[in-house]
């Protein structure tokens, strides 16, 4: 976090003001001291008393300094310097409005002193009156065109107003006038990073550090920029330098933890987060972030108490977690909405700076914008690529806004071919993307990322289109009023649950789109290749490790105990998670050898691995989504337990859509009993597998064309409501007659 820019100038400000005061009131001092009986003998120099007053101010002896300034005003009520200095004392003591008034009186008496206007601008900044601050700095610059400090502070105020381009220009002018002005380089770096000019930001931080090697904030923010470029090892070095300079720098420890997490150094990351928490117990969002990384590690120490503490703080409206990080925790839907609202309000508040969107008359083609950082080999794109290809281009014009900085791959190439325009906006700021969206006349903006990693919610806070909605990336409410709609189905969001969502709900017959063009795996990987025993029932779960909760794992261990020689095949990409799960199995009386761990595989082998298992066991409260579809596509039945919230009901939605409601349970007990029955009743399991094979290409789940038809009807209804000047409302799309369109 950057320091208060006003504080950077405070010491030099006091020094310059007091020296200037000494020069300006020198003529008044002699009579003033005589009147107060302070000039004891003619032999004592008049400037000695002035120097003592200046020294009082510099030393922080505010009362003594203020006394002299006020006595001076008794002699000369229009002494503008004394007024200005009293304003400075008010500023130092936190009486900002008094400071504005005192400095304002000085300006009324003598409006042509540039430093007066600079001082008042600084106080306006403290009051967060950014426009007034800019006006004051402009006045200072008009009086003194070479006033580097005024340009620098003007940049700070413009930065707060999010006028980032103008702010950078102001910093550039300050630097041109005074190349050694390190604060200008530092704050210029902050603005450039917000403009997504990350390389230029790093260069600016480097220059600030060259001027002042111990500039701890510059080292930390340099790390943030490197982190943005995914240069995590270099970022770690910057944070460690900042910490060496300031061992109690909580922000540096926090960001160090983020980079260590990206480097899969999870133990180090937890240690860094915990140190940040010790230094700053109320560090915003850290509680949820720390718990989430422990979930990745399957480290459940103090799990229940941590969740209870987090829940209590949520209900006190504390900013304790990003909204994504709580989806895998046993937290009710009311609290999930509260977390999302707090996150959106804080990180992405509605921004009206672009003004309302001018209404465009109805036209023959509805222009749809899809926004994602995942137009590459990624679960979101694996699900949606068929949708983009099946859209009716005679009725819809498609524009992709890609925020990905990842290398291009075959999925990106396939997706790009399906759009009328595919635009790389990764280097643009959120505001610039919103401006571009408006310029291109996007009618409906579809956010495919939401509150997930690399999501760009800020784009939608500016209103990229008249109609905005969230789909597939984030499984829950966005908690922001500028999202008009959320796509779901009646399984995922029953009517009684709509109170937990800030958006109007678009009810499709089936929620999740899938790509019907993907290959069906024809072979299974051998048991030997997967380190599985030669015989025995194979349960599996390839969900991300953070979705495994202690209660889910409890149920799995009871299932294994009830089914002799059964094993559980899990996915993990880190040893710490597998080792922790083995320890947890041992605690529950299960031989850890019955847990088999598989690593990440290429797509074809990944799908084939499902065919080596007998039953997929889902997690609760965060269900399998894309992973459940993959299992069903590969012919593996998925057993789920349906919970309360969005993420807890996705697998149930998929099973209903493929005609397997018998695999949806509603209590942990039912879930465990059915998992045991299917392992011990091979006839029943074979019947379900045969039904899955029949239904795979004859039910809606994998009918991409049918899903596209449904969502296009929804888009059309949203658009027609808007054109009719009707506000967003819940939309119900009924199932059309099913025909095989594959």
Q: Is 485:718 a contact under the CB 8 Å cutoff?
A: yes
Handedness of CA 54, 56, 60, 66 (dihedral sign): negative
Residue 734: DSSP 8-state:
P
Is 465 within 8 Å of 484 (Cβ atoms)? no
Mean of all residue pLDDT scores within the chain: 91
Identify the segments of the chain with pLDDT beneath 50.
1-47, 49-50, 737-742
pLDDT of residue 472: 97
Enumerate residues 6+ apart whose C-beta is below 8 A from 134. 121, 154, 157, 158, 161
pLDDT at 19: 40
Which stretch of DSSP H or E encloses residue 366? Answer: strand 366-372
Please give the pLDDT value at position 742.
27
pLDDT at position 417, please? 96
pLDDT digits 0-9 by tens, 77-91? 887 877 888 888 889
What pLDDT is recorded for position 119?
Answer: 95
pLDDT of residue 33: 40
Domain 5-145, CATH class in plain words: mainly alpha
Place of tokens 């003594």: 64
480: left (phi over 0), alpha (psi -120 to 50) or beta: beta
**Would you give the DSSP letter of residue 139?**
H
CATH number of 538-702: 3.40.50.2000
Residue 274, token pair as written in the block: 């915990």
What pLDDT, on the 0 to 100 scale, is given for residue 407?
Answer: 67
pLDDT tens digits, 87-123: 888 898 899 999 999 999 999 999 999 999 999 999 9
For residue 3, the model assigns a pLDDT of: 43
- Domain positions in the chain: 5-145, 284-347, 538-702
């Amino acid at each position: 976090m950057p320091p208060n820019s006003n504080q950077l100038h405070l010491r030099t400000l006091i020094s310059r003001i007091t020296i200037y005061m000494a020069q300006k009131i020198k003529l008044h001092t002699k009579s003033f001291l005589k009147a107060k009986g302070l000039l004891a003998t003619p032999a004592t120099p008049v400037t000695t008393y002035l120097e003592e007053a200046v020294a009082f101010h510099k030393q922080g002896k505010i009362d003594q300094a203020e006394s002299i300034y006020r006595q001076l005003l008794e002699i000369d009520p229009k002494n503008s310097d004394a007024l200005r200095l009293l304003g400075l004392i008010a500023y130092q003591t936190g009486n900002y409005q008094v400071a504005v008034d005192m400095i304002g009186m000085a300006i009324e008496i003598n409006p042509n002193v540039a430093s007066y206007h600079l001082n008042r601008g600084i106080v306006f900044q403290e009051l967060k009156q950014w426009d007034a601050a800019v006006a004051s700095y402009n006045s200072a610059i008009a009086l003194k065109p070479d006033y580097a400090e005024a340009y620098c502070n003007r940049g700070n105020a413009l930065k707060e107003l999010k006028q980032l381009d103008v702010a950078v220009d102001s910093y550039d002018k300050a630097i041109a006038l005074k190349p050694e002005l390190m604060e200008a380089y530092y704050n210029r770096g902050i603005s450039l990073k917000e403009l997504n000019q990350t390389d230029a930001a790093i260069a600016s931080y480097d220059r600030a550090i060259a001027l002042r090697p111990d500039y701890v904030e510059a080292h930390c923010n340099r790390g943030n920029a490197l982190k943005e470029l995914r240069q995590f090892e270099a970022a770690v070095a910057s944070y460690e330098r900042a910490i060496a300079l300031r061992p109690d720098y909580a922000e540096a420890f926090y960001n160090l933890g983020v980079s260590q997490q990206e480097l899969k150094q999870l133990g180090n990351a937890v240690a860094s987060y915990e140190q940040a928490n010790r230094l700053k117990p109320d560090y915003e969002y850290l509680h949820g972030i720390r718990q989430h990384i422990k979930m990745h590690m399957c480290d459940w120490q103090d799990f229940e108490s941590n969740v209870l503490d987090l829940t209590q703080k949520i209900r006190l409206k504390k900013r304790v977690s990003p909204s994504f990080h709580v989806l895998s925790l046993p937290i009710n839907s009311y609290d999930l909405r509260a977390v999302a609202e707090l996150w959106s309000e804080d990180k992405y508040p509605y921004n009206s700076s672009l003004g309302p969107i001018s209404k465009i008359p109805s036209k023959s083609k509805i222009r749809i914008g899809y926004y994602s950082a995942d137009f590459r080999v990624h679960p979101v794109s694996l699900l949606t690529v068929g949708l983009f290809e099946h859209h009716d281009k005679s009725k819809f014009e498609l524009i992709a806004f890609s925020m990905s900085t990842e290398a291009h791959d075959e999925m990106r190439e396939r997706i790009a071919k399906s759009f009328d325009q595919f635009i790389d906006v990764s280097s643009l700021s959120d505001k610039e993307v919103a401006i571009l969206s408006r310029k291109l006349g996007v009618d409906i903006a579809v956010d495919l990322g939401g509150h997930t990693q690399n999501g760009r919610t800020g784009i939608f806070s500016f209103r990229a289109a008249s109609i905005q909605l969230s789909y597939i990336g984030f499984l829950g409410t966005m908690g922001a009023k500028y999202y008009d709609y959320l796509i779901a189905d009646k399984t995922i969001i029953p009517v009684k649950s709509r109170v937990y969502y800030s958006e109007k709900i678009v009810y499709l017959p089936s929620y999740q789109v899938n790509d019907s063009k993907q290959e069906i795996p024809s072979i299974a990987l051998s048991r030997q290749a997967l380190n599985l025993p030669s015989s025995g029932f194979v349960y599996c779960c390839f969900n991300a490790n953070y979705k495994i909760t202690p209660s889910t794992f409890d149920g799995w261990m009871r299932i294994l105990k009830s089914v002799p020689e059964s094993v559980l095949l899990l996915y993990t990409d880190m040893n710490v998670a597998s080792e922790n799960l083995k320890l947890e199995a041992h605690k529950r009386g299960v031989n850890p050898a019955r847990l088999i761990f598989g690593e990440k595989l290429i797509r074809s082998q990944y799908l084939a691995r499902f065919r080596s298992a007998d039953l997929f066991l889902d997690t609760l409260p965060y269900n399998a989504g894309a992973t459940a579809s993959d299992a069903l596509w590969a012919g593996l039945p998925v057993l789920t337990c349906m919970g309360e919230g969005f993420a807890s009901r996705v697998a149930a939605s998929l099973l209903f859509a493929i005609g397997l409601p018998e695999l949806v349970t509603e209590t942990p007990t039912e879930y465990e009993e059915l998992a045991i029955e299917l392992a011990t009743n091979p006839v029943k399991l074979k019947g379900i597998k045969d039904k899955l094979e029949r239904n795979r290409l004859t039910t809606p789940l994998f009918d991409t064309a049918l899903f596209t038809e449904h969502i296009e009807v929804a888009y059309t209804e949203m658009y027609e409501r808007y054109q009719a000047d009707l506000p967003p409302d819940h939309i119900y799309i009924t199932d059309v007659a099913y025909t095989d369109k594959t």
